[in-house]
Amino acid sequence: MTKICCVCSKVEEDGDWITDCVTSATKRFTHGYCPACYDDVMEDLGRIVNMRNSVRPPVVQGVSNYDIADVCA
């Protein structure tokens, strides 16, 4: 089965990723990422994870479980 990059559509042939303009209809493909697109995706993913980790939920000052229990009682 031939590997094809789902981003740039390059195909892997003999360990190299090439632009294959003439794809055979008889070839069977499995989708993945070529090394360049993989690096791009991982970089974007790392940026998203860092962005999410930097956003913290607001801390409510002065409220304890005891205060909430008093209100509910």
Could you list the residues that contact Zn ion (CB under 5 A)?
Answer: 5, 7-8, 34, 37
Extract the tokens encoding 34: 């070529």
Q: How far apart are CA 16 and CA 12, in angstroms?
A: 5
Smallest gap from residue 44 Cβ to Zn ion (A): 13
Smallest gap from residue 8 Cβ to Zn ion (A): 3
Helix (H) or strand (E) holding 68: helix 65-72
Which CB sits closer to Zn ion, 18 or 68?
18
Smallest gap from residue 17 Cβ to Zn ion (A): 7
